[in-house]
Structure 1
Amino acid sequence: MQQLTQKLGSGDMVIQEVPYPQLGKGMVIVKNHYSIISAGTEGSTVQAARKSLIGKAKERPQQVNQVIDTLKKQGPIQTYRAVMKKLDAYSPLGYSCAGEVIEVGEGVTEFEVGDRVACAGAGYANHAEIVSVPVNLCVKLDETTNLKNAAYNTLGAISMQGIRQADLRLGESCVVIGLGLLGQLAALILKASGVTVIGVDVAESAVNQAIENNAVDIGLVRNAAGIEEQILNATNGIGADAVIIAAATSSLDPINFAGAIARKKGKVVVLGAVPTGFDRDPFWYRKELELKMACSYGPGRYDLNYEEKGIDYPVAYVRWTEKRNMEAFQSLLITNKINIDYLTTHEFDFDNAKQAFDLVVEKSEPFTGIALKYDTAKEPSKASVKTSDSEALGKVNISFIGAGSYAQGNLLPNIPEHSEVTKVGVLTNTGTTSKRVAEKFKFQFCASEENDILNENTNTVFIATRHDSHGPYTIKSLQANKHVFVEKPLCLKEEELEKIIELKEVSGKSVMIGFNRRFSPLTKKLKKSLGNNPVSMIYRINAGAIPKDNWIQDMEIGGGRIHGEVCHFVDYLTYMNGSLPIKVSATAIPDANQLNDTLNVLIQFKNGSSGVIAYYSNGSKSLTKEYIEVFSAGFSGIIHDFKELKVYGKGKPKKKKLLNQNKGQKEMVKAYVDGLLKDGKAPISFDEVVAVSKTCFAIVESIKRGGEQIDI
């Protein structure tokens, strides 16, 4: 399958062969017929990618600050890896397309193979031969629909959401500032709704295009003499009932101009990318104007439950969702209430997509909408994509399922180079990530299907996917007789844990969890200093807040922060005292979102040791994240954020300070691979792995019971 990609670092754009996309629950696979290039959104992305590093930094000051913050906390190595991962990644382009359904995922009832559909969504409706799209970002089309026009689906929904925010009535007036693609679409829809439309643009050609195609009632160039008076006259001396700003500029002129031409108590809707720092006087304050933002395609946008899980909003309470906006736009097309034929000024075969983007960036000739046309006679292939000529295998043959930011920064770079260690295959949700990871880390292929990973060539599977899939992938890997390294947590369901225990016993294969902190050099040094007496431990984590709508906080997908993060610290205390947990109690500070991510956990261990995990999401960002204290028989040890160790005993305290933070990821991966090479065993015992998982389930239960002590 071919897809258009670009590297953010170099700006290189290429159509390349990538694996067939994954068909997840609630998704459909679509063969594209057309996709539309958004000159605004995509054009700015491509232009930024083609700039120098300094140019990129100037355009993204917020991301520069994030890099500086990472540098302070994690040191230059991790920061470099994180930045290079972004710069070297193959970024998919496109977010609006149309085609036919060729596969239907689990739980999908509204679509069938052969349906003609229009799709939306960055990361989904890409410029690619085949795309995988969630059902709420996909709408069914009439058999007679013009698929080229239908491919404007996303842009039409965005324009429609701006109009809905304006909340106009029949006979009212609206000025559309900016007559690019979004502005033209907004004007057409407004006119079809019985609204008087006045279009304004800095370019005379855009104004003339709108006038010639009956998209506006009146078209004006921004620098026209007496433009404010003309608009006042056209609105019977009232001023515009609403102004929709569909321009893209860093200038304050659109927002201040909107204030000048809007009627008293009118609305100004920001649809394009413009600053909103308007002048208070003389218009905005005295007219008591209302400023509204239009959020992309409409209600449901950026909502994980709506977009990824397919949970719709009840129509009685949310009349117009992003999907219903798309459906309304397609209805306008099929009933000929609007005609957008003129918007497609250029059409390119998909093979010539780079030329199309050159036109967008260089503006070598006038354009409005640019359509990419696909070869629909081409049969899709699910074959793996080779990234190496080598087919040699060793004693340890590793494949990855999932390879996101953490895996690329902490796991993949640390797989030791060894003659008996082979990197076989990579499977991720997106073909672009699979391809880039396979190339960069020298795997033999990137895969389209699980069976490509779980075949006889692989004997060790690294699982670094979202948390809800850890248990199922671990089970499948053990059933396929593979060693398993799974990023924490092991699983989110107790029945999955029981199945893993059963399969581990039957297969005899190793099951390793990514509990890296126990492998940190400072941890090893502290552990070595302890005697055999019971240990008292405190592990304080200044975790920071994560929004409720983040996938980690979603109990079905991420399992919440107890399963997703606190498990790390349960393992650490287990390792430090050298025995398994037997009892646990936990209490959480009540919060409005019921996230249970500010909590205290007390664990008792078999050898008499005890430990407190103080996991707080409500602290200051300026405080270091992790702080550990250990006490035993006149001995005390302190670790500050895995950068500094202080040991107190007899005599003068001993100190060990690292130049960079080291949480033990490199040492962990090496220890695991070395264990496989030696005897096939993991460096963390399976009893500890199981005990940590059971303890996390017990922590959740204890919080539900108001802090009641739970036996492990």
Structure 2
Amino acid sequence: MLQVMQNYKGGDLRVEEVPSPVLQPGGVLVKNHNSLISAGTEKSIINLAQSSIVSKAKQRPDLVKQVLEKVKQEGLINTFKKVMGKLDSPMSVGYSCAGEVVAVASDVKDLKVGDRVACAGAGYANHAEMIYAPRNLTAKIPEGVSYEEASFSTVASIALQGIRQAEPKLGENVAVIGLGLIGLLTAEMLKANGCNVIGIDVSEFAVSNAKKLGHQNSFLRGKENLKSKVNNLTNGQGVDSILITASADSNDPVEFAGEIARDRAKVVAVGMVGLDIPRNLYYEKELDLRLSRSYGPGRYDTDYEEKGYDYPIGYVRWTEQRNMQAFLNLLADQKIDLDKIITHKFKIEKAKEAYDMILENKESYLGVLLEYDTEKSLPAKIQVKENTSRGDKINLAMVGAGNFAKGVLIPNLAKINNINFNTLVTATGASAKNTAKKFDFNYCTTDENEVYKDNEVNTVFITTRHNLHADSVIKGLENNKNVYVEKPLGLYEADLENIIKAWDKSEGKLMVGFNRRFSPFTKELKEFYQNRNTPLVMNYTVNAGYIPGDHWTQDPEIGGGRIKGEVCHFLDLLSYIADSEPVSVYAQPISANTEHIFNDDNLLVSIYFADGSVGNITYTALGDSSYPKERIEAFADSAAAILDNFNSLTTHSNNKSDTSKKFSQQKGFKEELEAFADSIEKGKESPINFKSLIASSLATLKIIESMEQGKPVEVNVDQFINNALDY
């Protein structure tokens, strides 16, 4: 399918053929008929993307700080590669469209194939021939409303949310500062609400457009005695509320709003303007300054937008979806006329011309629509280059291509001989196409099932979100593929049981991304103790860093939390160093009782191993980022070893010490992938035996059980595997 995309590093804007999206739970697939270019918002994003690296840094100092912290932890070279990879990722453009539903998820009960809907949301309602949209970001189009009109719904909801913040009453005087697209939609809805609208703009074209729509009390800022005119129109009282829908770096809109406001009026900032509030003016009139957040309650709430949890109408009358529906109903009742607002229409193939017109101000514009061919076939898999798969190669498919896959896994895999990149799978077509081209994959798709039914593919790498791992592993094994999955292997014991059953019948190998086992420092440490006569005492300190509660890794349903997603790494490494399976775990979290500090982000774990060794993991998100992230201390046979953040290893024995160092971290990614590829090519056992994978994964889940019960919990991996296989 065709989609408008932009490269954030250089700002290149293009229309490209990409795989069509696949249906996901909680939403619908929609064939677009029209989408609206939100000229102001999209122009500012494009201008930012086209600016220099220095300019980007000046505009986003928060991201610069994150990069500097990353340099401290991972070194300059690794950080540079990750940043460049992030900048080189394509951005989907657009957030307001309308089309026909062509597929409905089983858990969506109030939409059906053939329904006409308006859709919202950056990353969803893109300028593309087909989109996936979550249910709460769609609204049914009433009869009598065209797709062209409905495609305005999201942008109009931004205007409507501003109006709701102003709370205008019938007959009140309301000023709209900024008569661009959102400003005109605001004025139209205020008029429908029975308000007396006063329009203000710095552009003669904008003022002229407002007057053509019937807003005769629209004036040019800076060339007319506006204060006097506003006073005359309001009987000397000033306006009841002001909606600032302009976009300007200056503070003038906020200052002028205060000048024309009546006593105790409301000023609502909808657009991006300076907010250096003139205190005396606002204080003397006791003005109520409010900000309007996008298109309504629910915006930026993943529970609402992505998971489909609606707000009870008795508590939240107007959500973003209800705002969309309200605007559509106004269109159906013919309270708003968009004919004079729509100034341009372009076929999707000519979208570049539309953006050139907007960016270069070649002509005056207002409502700019894109049109789509709804009869076109839209495949979910497309060929990127000539197929280079051969029977004697490791023909690899990558399912998921986030920052870690693009920054670490794929570049290291590309250096291994005899690996052929066959198919790349990601959730969005834009990401799939861009990454497939960059790393020389034969095909790209949004449907992972294309991989499992492809006989050419013999190896699958899974790097998706944690809740998807187990199902993908099982599909791969059931189709006799060699499977590499990033940790965790599964989020629940039932996941592990089903994986055991699939592995038992499969001809494929299974590997989990426990890379720290393969670090040269780890191997050196293990060799140091290879002839030990006593059990090991090991202390593993992890300065994990804070992750907000709304991050997907903290979501119990998606990420599973940090114990399942990260502590498994450290438990597995201790098991490897001891060369022994865990037999019991005991975990104690802190009791912070605050929303900011999560108890299971800060815990002590004791692991007891079959050979008598013991490992203690101190895992905390309360430390400072300047302190190294990981440190292992190991003691046995009157000797000691300290592995410091995979940069250095110091051993102490016979009153002597020896230190080996590396400039950058050596976490074993390269060595791990080489070992897995070698096992496939030479028909050897997987680098980590299956029982060890299950033991580390099971013991990690038992950590949570121990926390819940407040006591040690046994880990019996043999019994667990036998039960899964009904032995």
Same fold (TM over 0.5): yes
> Following the alignment from structure 1 to structure 2, what is the Cα–Cα distance between the partners of residues 233 and 637?
84
> Following the alignment from structure 1 to structure 2, what is the Cα–Cα distance between the partners of residues 229 and 666?
73
| Alignment-mate amino acid for residue 704 of structure 1 | E
| Alignment-mate amino acid for residue 24 of structure 1 | Q
Offset of residue 400 of structure 1:
1.0
| Aligned-residue identity in percent | 45
| Alignment-mate amino acid for residue 7 of structure 1 | N
> Following the alignment from structure 1 to structure 2, what is the Cα–Cα distance between the partners of residues 494 and 285?
61
Structure 2 match to 1:542: 543
Structure 2 match to 1:79: 79
> Following the alignment from structure 1 to structure 2, what is the Cα–Cα distance between the partners of residues 646 and 231?
78
> Following the alignment from structure 2 to structure 1, what is the Cα–Cα distance between the partners of residues 700 and 681?
31
> Following the alignment from structure 2 to structure 1, what is the Cα–Cα distance between the partners of residues 249 and 224?
23
Q: Give a deviation string over 1:652-671, Cα, whole Å, max 9, x none.
A: 43222321223222222122
Q: Which has the higher mean CA deviation after the structures are superposed, 449-458 or 375-384?
A: 375-384
Structure 1 match to 2:306: 308
Structure 1 match to 2:705: 701
Q: 1:370 aligns with which of 368, 371, 376?
A: 368
Offset of residue 639 of structure 1:
2.6
> Following the alignment from structure 1 to structure 2, what is the Cα–Cα distance between the partners of residues 613 and 568?
11
| Alignment-mate amino acid for residue 544 of structure 2 | A
Q: 1:396 aligns with which of 394, 399, 413?
A: 394
Matched, 1:641 2:645: yes
Structure 1 match to 2:171: 171
> Following the alignment from structure 1 to structure 2, what is the Cα–Cα distance between the partners of residues 298 and 672?
49
Structure 1 match to 2:183: 183
Offset of residue 616 of structure 1:
1.2
Q: Give a deviation string over 1:582-628, Cα, whole Å, max 9, x none.
A: 11111222344466212211111111111121111223333332222
Offset of residue 255 of structure 1:
2.3
Point out where structure 2 has 5 or more consecutive residues left out of the alignment. Answer: 717-727
Q: Normalised by the size of structure 2, how large is the TM-score? A: 0.94
> Following the alignment from structure 2 to structure 1, what is the Cα–Cα distance between the partners of residues 60 and 224?
37
Q: Which has the higher mean CA deviation after the structures are superposed, 476-485 or 204-213?
A: 204-213
Q: Which has the higher mean CA deviation after the structures are superposed, 430-439 or 239-248?
A: 239-248
Q: Which has the higher mean CA deviation after the structures are superposed, 225-234 or 632-641?
A: 225-234
> Following the alignment from structure 1 to structure 2, what is the Cα–Cα distance between the partners of residues 194 and 568?
63
| Alignment-mate amino acid for residue 361 of structure 2 | K
Q: In 2 relative to 1, CA 521–270 (structure 1 residues): closer, same or farther, beyond 3 Å?
A: farther
| Alignment-mate amino acid for residue 622 of structure 1 | S
SS of the equivalent of 1:629 reads strand
Offset of residue 197 of structure 1:
2.0
Structure 2 match to 1:619: 623
SS of the equivalent of 1:176 reads strand
Q: Give a deviation string over 1:336-387, Cα, whole Å, max 9, x none.
A: 1111222211111111100000111111111111101112232333443333
SS of the equivalent of 2:600 reads coil
Q: In 2 relative to 1, CA 562–232 (structure 1 residues): closer, same or farther, beyond 3 Å?
A: farther
Structure 1 match to 2:460: 461
Q: Which has the higher mean CA deviation after the structures are superposed, 460-469 or 600-609?
A: 600-609
Structure 2 match to 1:258: 257
Q: Is the 8 A contact 1:394 1:419 kept in 2?
A: no
Q: Is the 8 A contact 1:384 1:452 kept in 2?
A: no
Q: In 2 relative to 1, CA 579–253 (structure 1 residues): closer, same or farther, beyond 3 Å?
A: same
> Following the alignment from structure 1 to structure 2, what is the Cα–Cα distance between the partners of residues 225 and 171?
25
Q: In 2 relative to 1, CA 640–471 (structure 1 residues): closer, same or farther, beyond 3 Å?
A: same
SS of the equivalent of 1:694 reads helix
Structure 1 match to 2:634: 630
| Alignment-mate amino acid for residue 73 of structure 1 | Q
> Following the alignment from structure 1 to structure 2, what is the Cα–Cα distance between the partners of residues 526 and 287?
72
> Following the alignment from structure 2 to structure 1, what is the Cα–Cα distance between the partners of residues 118 and 391?
44
Q: Which has the higher mean CA deviation after the structures are superposed, 581-590 or 651-660?
A: 651-660
SS of the equivalent of 1:655 reads strand
Structure 1 match to 2:248: 249
> Following the alignment from structure 1 to structure 2, what is the Cα–Cα distance between the partners of residues 448 and 418?
26
Q: 2:659 aligns with which of 640, 655, 679?
A: 655
Q: In 2 relative to 1, CA 341–515 (structure 1 residues): closer, same or farther, beyond 3 Å?
A: same
Point out where structure 1 has 5 or more consecutive residues left out of the alignment. Answer: none
Q: 1:674 aligns with which of 674, 678, 691?
A: 678
| Alignment-mate amino acid for residue 625 of structure 2 | K
Q: Which has the higher mean CA deviation after the structures are superposed, 365-374 or 284-293?
A: 284-293
Structure 2 match to 1:503: 502
Q: Which has the higher mean CA deviation after the structures are superposed, 76-85 or 356-365?
A: 76-85
Offset of residue 245 of structure 1:
1.7
| Alignment-mate amino acid for residue 60 of structure 1 | R
> Following the alignment from structure 1 to structure 2, what is the Cα–Cα distance between the partners of residues 670 and 241?
70
Q: In 2 relative to 1, CA 259–158 (structure 1 residues): closer, same or farther, beyond 3 Å?
A: same
Matched, 1:162 2:157: no
Aligned pair count reads: 710
SS of the equivalent of 2:133 reads strand
SS of the equivalent of 1:556 reads coil
Offset of residue 259 of structure 1:
2.8
| Alignment-mate amino acid for residue 506 of structure 2 | S
Matched, 1:684 2:685: no
Show the 5 A alignment for 1:293-372.
Answer: 293-372=291-370
Matched, 1:480 2:479: yes
> Following the alignment from structure 1 to structure 2, what is the Cα–Cα distance between the partners of residues 686 and 416?
26
SS of the equivalent of 1:384 reads strand
| Alignment-mate amino acid for residue 544 of structure 1 | G
Q: Is the 8 A contact 1:22 1:449 kept in 2?
A: yes
RMSD (Å), alpha carbons = 1.9
Q: Is the 8 A contact 2:476 2:483 kept in 1?
A: yes
Q: Give a deviation string over 1:398-424, Cα, whole Å, max 9, x none.
A: 101111111101111111545532211
Structure 1 match to 2:723: none
Q: 2:612 aligns with which of 600, 608, 619?
A: 608
Offset of residue 179 of structure 1:
1.3
| Alignment-mate amino acid for residue 549 of structure 1 | D
Structure 1 match to 2:488: 489
Structure 1 match to 2:725: none
Q: In 2 relative to 1, CA 617–241 (structure 1 residues): closer, same or farther, beyond 3 Å?
A: farther
Structure 2 match to 1:585: 586
Q: Give a deviation string over 1:501-544, Cα, whole Å, max 9, x none.
A: 11112214221111122222222222222243311122222222
Q: In 2 relative to 1, CA 610–231 (structure 1 residues): closer, same or farther, beyond 3 Å?
A: farther
